[in-house]
Amino acid sequence: MRNLLLTTSFALVLSAPAFAAGTHDGGHGETKPTAMMIGMPGEAANVDRTIDVTLLENDEGEMLIESEEMTIKEGETIRFNITNKGELEHEFVLDTVERNAEHKIEMAKMDMEHDDPNRIRLDAGASGEVVWTFANAGTFEAACLIPGHYESGMHRAVSVGDQMAQADVEYTSGTIKKIDAKAGKVTIIHGPLVNLDMPAMTMVFRADEAMMAKMSEGQDIEFVADRVKGKLTVTQMK
């Protein structure tokens, strides 16, 4: 009788379903990541271009993700070269706005460091990379979800669309008159800004560190400007 019970118990264990620990779309411990709404991990050999990203805090108490405009073609594979130039630990997470909001709530309860291919956490002064293939069109988000960092401004839009949609962006011609790199400001003599309904004039714009590095006084440029946090900002340049 005892042998019969042991045999029956062993058979039940073998027949019980196995449940894998999950990531947010597959599993924190999975060896083969699954595709997400924003896309999937990219192969280094298939990288189409690189976007340099800087994580930092400024003197005004803001925490920022600085880079060129994150406007990406559907199907494009991007290498994000990420450097933490701040004095605090920061992370870089690619996901939908909704999922970042959900995860931010989780992080507020317990600050967790995940090992997922769509994110990287960096100590002050450290650098790393995320290689990602953007398989679906839409507006997504890059963010830092460490408690308090998102609320301090550490997030920005990631726009993914087809090649034609990107070509529809209207650039304005201008000449750089003055650069104040310390203040993150650039004075541009420019033509009409159609998207902002502004005539040709000379104005002061904000620009992030990566954008400023491409500028020089007297340089003729074509650029796109928009209001970012209420301030006129150069968001694209060629």
pLDDT tens digit sequence for 177-189: 999 999 999 999 9
Contacts of 208 (CB under 8 A, 6+ apart): 54, 64, 66, 67, 68, 184
Rounded to an integer, the average pLDDT of 45-63 is 93
Rounded to an integer, the average pLDDT of 77-83 is 97
Domain with CATH 2.60.40.420 in the chain: 40-166
Confidence of residue 91 (pLDDT cuts 50, 70, 90): very high
Confidence of residue 111 (pLDDT cuts 50, 70, 90): low
d(CA 211, CA 177): 15
d(CA 15, CA 67): 52
Residues of the chain with pLDDT > 70, as a percent, come to: 81
pLDDT at 4: 43
Structure tokens at 11: 């058979």
- Going by CATH, does the domain composed of 40-166 fall within 3.40.309.10? no
Domain with CATH 2.40.50.320 in the chain: 170-237
pTM here is 0.59
**SS3 state at 97:** helix
CATH of span 170-237: 2.40.50.320
